[in-house]
Homo-oligomer: A and B are copies of this chain.
Amino acid sequence: MTADLVLGDVHPALADTCRAAFEALAEAQQRYGRAELSAETRMGADGTPTMLIDDLVEQRILAAARTHGINVLSEEAGFVDLGSALTLVVDPVDGSANAAAGVPLSCYSAALLEDGKPIEALTCWLETGRSIAARVGEPAPYRTSGARRLAGQALSMLRPKHGARGDTAETWMQLCRRAGRVRILSSSCLEAMLVATGAVDAFADPGSDTHRLVDLAAAMVIMPIAGGHVCDAFGRPLEFDHDLTRRYSGVVAATRELADEIVEVINS
Contacts and interface: CB of A to CB of B under 8 A. Distances in A.
A2 B3 CA distance: 7
Contacts of A176: 159-160, 169
A182 interface: yes
Interface in A168-213: 169, 173, 176, 181-186, 194, 197-200
14 contacts: A2-B4, A2-B6, A3-B3, A3-B128, A127-B128, A128-B128, A159-B176, A159-B182, A159-B183, A169-B176, A182-B184, A183-B184, A183-B185, A184-B184
Contact of A200 (B4, B103, B129): B103
Copies in the complex: 2
Nearest to A169: B173
A256 interface: no
Nearest to A186: B183
A34 B101 contact: no
Nearest to A199: B102
Nearest to A176: B160
Contact of A101 (B6, B128, B160, B199): B199
Interface in A1-56: 2-4, 6, 34
A193 to B, nearest CB: 10
The 10 closest A-B pairs by CB, nearest first: A102-B199, A159-B182, A184-B184, A103-B199, A183-B184, A101-B199, A2-B4, A169-B173, A183-B186, A128-B128
A104 interface: yes
A197 B34 CA distance: 12
Given A169-B173, A173-B160, A176-B159, A183 B103 contact: yes
